[in-house]
Amino acid sequence: MSNFLVHNANVLGSVATSSLTAWRGCLVVKQAPQPEKPLVLYDMEACPYCRRVREALTALNLDVVIRPCPKGGRRFRPEAESLGGKQQFPLLVDENTGKVMYESEAIVEYLFRQYGGRPVPGYYRAKGYQPALGSLASAASALRGLRAGAAKVPEQPLHLWSFEGSPFSRLVREKLCELEIPYTLHNLGKEHWTEIGPAKQRIKPGAYTPIPGGKRDAFFQVHKRVQVPYLEDPNTGQGLFESSTILKYLEATYAA
């Protein structure tokens, strides 16, 4: 099967993942202020519990430093264990408050209370059926982003502009996790219902104009469009749109 067909099959699987998780992690619930020190998340992309935390981060439009911890990984799993006492994920570290936290439900509650100043919205509260659906959602993406592969270590962390529900961004996060590449995840959630839809054909017709003063507006001023995923690699000076292009770049640059 050609790379083109494989990529499009993976996109469809990623769409299924977003559908099974009710497209949480797309719209911003509240624009939270970015903390003085970055939040750090020890994360496994394919883990449904980690996904719930990333959904909440998008809902609050909070940026976070991702330290990937796939199964078989050696770069950040020992570090996570030294901080929290065990290799269990997600693990959130907030140096602003001194919190080191396991358990997705507790982390989601903490993020909304601490940075959103509000209770967890019903849409993001834990429900009894979510573990089963979350596991199905991971299976729909063929469990990519679960196990580590051989890779080179970048000198500096990368930067990814994304939002959790984006099927195309998920493909890039999966690869970054498998390669154990640390990166800053810049959440660029949709700030208004008129932004629903793909970048090239949003629900609102006509030229796209982001809400002034928001994170999307800041991105738009630099790039003249708002589209995710967008990857910047300070090690090479590359800035790339399009998931297929980014995946080829990561494989060529960092896969061992």
For the whole model, what pTM was predicted?
A: 0.96
Query: What is the distance between the alpha carbons of residues 174 and 251, in angstroms, rounded to a whole number?
Result: 12
For 138, what's the count of Cα atoms within 13 Å in the CB-facing half-sphere? Answer: 19
**Which CATH number among 1.20.1290.10, 3.40.50.620, 3.40.50.1220, 3.40.30.10 corresponds to the domain 3-188+228-254?**
3.40.30.10
The 3-class secondary structure across 31-61, one letter per residue, is CCCCCCCCEEEEECCCCHHHHHHHHHHHHCC
Which pLDDT does position 36 carry in this prediction? 98
- Two tokens, residue 2: 């050609």
pLDDT by residue for the chain (256 residues), tens digit each? 568 889 999 999 999 999 999 999 999 999 999 999 999 999 999 999 999 999 999 999 999 999 999 999 999 999 999 999 999 999 999 999 999 999 999 999 999 999 999 999 999 999 988 889 999 999 999 999 999 999 999 999 999 999 999 999 999 999 999 999 999 999 999 998 888 888 777 777 888 889 999 999 999 999 999 999 999 999 999 999 999 999 999 999 999 9
What are the beta bridge partners of residue 93? 40, 100
Enumerate the domain spans of the chain.
3-188+228-254
Q: State residue 202's pLDDT score.
A: 79
**Residue 203's pLDDT is what?**
79
Running DSSP on this structure, what letter comes out for residue 190? B
Rounded to an integer, what distance in angstroms lies between the CA atom of residue 47 and that of residue 88?
A: 11
Gap between the Cα atoms of 182 and 191, Å rounded: 27
Q: Check residue 135 and give its pLDDT.
A: 94
Phi first, then psi: give them for residue 45, nearest 5 degrees: -55, -40
